[in-house]
């Protein structure tokens, strides 16, 4: 199972402009990646033309920008918004799982590790959920983590901290459904997984920044966020939210 992740940083309208960060991702079975790439290409062609589908990437900030919501409020559906809607329907129809962590805590909301010997709790909470879901739904598979490329220094520290955690800590070693080495890639290379990760991260980020126009689109995405039960039936969502203490 390939798990692609992207991040977004916003200010919450609900909490007086309080900043938040969201790191979210989407799972695509390795055997389905070529089919998903072709299906997404067809949807891009349908709404934005063959040239766009061939040469340009999907960006959530363009698909769900304020301008298209303004048009929708006037009864005008833009091609961008129609593409976003179709992509969410596609993700839901294919039952591609969505994972994520939304963080309001100042120390952790940048998803940027400072101490490579102690993995930030944002990543740990996220990995716990991925590991448990994999063990329940795909026990014979491993999850391969693919993160969108950021700054080299951020990538290096995050990769080192993640690898140290998964290879050297008792908690990390217990998460044996996750491959111990993360990968980094760029969406501009027509990486369909990262483009879909960007889309779902944008939807989650807008939802938790209290952008009301995103609500019907988040409602579709919410159906793709799995949960599991522990401790006699307590439900644990695969979207973790960390608010300020």
Quote the CA–CA distance of 241 and 60 in Å, as a whole number.
Answer: 21
Quote the CA–CA distance of 36 and 211 in Å, as a whole number.
Answer: 29
Q: What pLDDT, on the 0 to 100 scale, is given for residue 15?
A: 66
Q: What pLDDT, on the 0 to 100 scale, is given for residue 230?
A: 83
Q: What pLDDT, on the 0 to 100 scale, is given for residue 77?
A: 87
Residue 226 has pLDDT above 80, yes or no: yes
Residue 183 has pLDDT above 60, yes or no: yes
Q: What pLDDT, on the 0 to 100 scale, is given for residue 186?
A: 82
Summarised one tens digit per residue, pLDDT across range 106-139 is 999 999 999 999 999 999 999 999 999 999 999 9
Q: What pLDDT, on the 0 to 100 scale, is given for residue 243?
A: 87
- Supply 23's token pair: 């790191």
Residue 245 has pLDDT above 60, yes or no: no
Quote the CA–CA distance of 66 and 38 in Å, as a whole number.
Answer: 29
The answer to whether 1 and 28 have CB atoms below 8 angstroms apart is yes
Other CB atoms within a 10 A radius of the CB of residue 70 amount to: 12
Quote the CA–CA distance of 43 and 15 in Å, as a whole number.
Answer: 36
Mean pLDDT of 84-113: 96
Q: What pLDDT, on the 0 to 100 scale, is given for residue 224?
A: 97
| List of domains in the chain | 2-242 (3.30.420)
- Per the prediction, the chain carries an average pLDDT of 94
Mean pLDDT of 178-202: 91
The radius of gyration of the chain from alpha carbons, rounded to an integer in Å, stands at 18
Summarised one tens digit per residue, pLDDT across range 2-47 is 999 999 999 887 666 789 999 999 999 999 999 999 999 999 999 9
Phi then psi for 205, rounded to 5 degrees?
Answer: -60, -45
The answer to whether 162 and 21 have CB atoms below 8 angstroms apart is no
Q: What pLDDT, on the 0 to 100 scale, is given for residue 111?
A: 96
Quote the CA–CA distance of 13 and 34 in Å, as a whole number.
Answer: 39
Mean pLDDT of 205-230: 95
Q: Residue 167: in which H helix or E strand, if any? A: helix 152-168
């Amino acid at each position: 199972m390939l798990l692609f992740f992207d991040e977004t940083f916003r200010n919450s309208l609900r909490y007086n402009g309080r900043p938040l960060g969201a790191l979210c991702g989407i799972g695509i079975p390795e055997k389905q990646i070529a089919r998903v790439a072709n299906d997404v290409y067809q949807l891009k062609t349908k709404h934005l033309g063959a040239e766009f589908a061939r040469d340009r990437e999907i960006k959530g900030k363009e698909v769900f920008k304020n301008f298209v919501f303004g048009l929708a409020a006037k009864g005008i559906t833009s091609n961008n918004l129609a593409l976003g809607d179709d992509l969410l329907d596609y993700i839901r129809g294919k039952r591609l799982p969505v994972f994520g962590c939304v963080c309001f805590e100042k120390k952790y909301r940048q998803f940027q590790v400072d101490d490579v010997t102690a993995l930030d709790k944002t990543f740990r909470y996220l990995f716990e959920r991925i590991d448990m879901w994999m063990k329940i739904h795909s026990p014979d598979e491993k999850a391969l983590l693919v993160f969108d490329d950021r700054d080299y220094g951020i990538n290096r520290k995050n990769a080192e901290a993640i690898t140290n955690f998964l290879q050297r800590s008792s908690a990390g070693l217990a998460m044996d459904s996750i491959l111990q080495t993360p990968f980094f890639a760029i969406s501009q290379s027509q990486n369909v997984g990262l483009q879909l990760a960007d889309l779902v991260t944008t939807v989650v980020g807008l939802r938790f920044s209290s952008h009301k126009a995103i609500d019907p689109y988040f409602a579709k995405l919410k159906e793709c966020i799995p949960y599991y039960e522990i401790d006699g039936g307590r439900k644990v969502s695969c979207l973790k939210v960390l608010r300020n203490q």
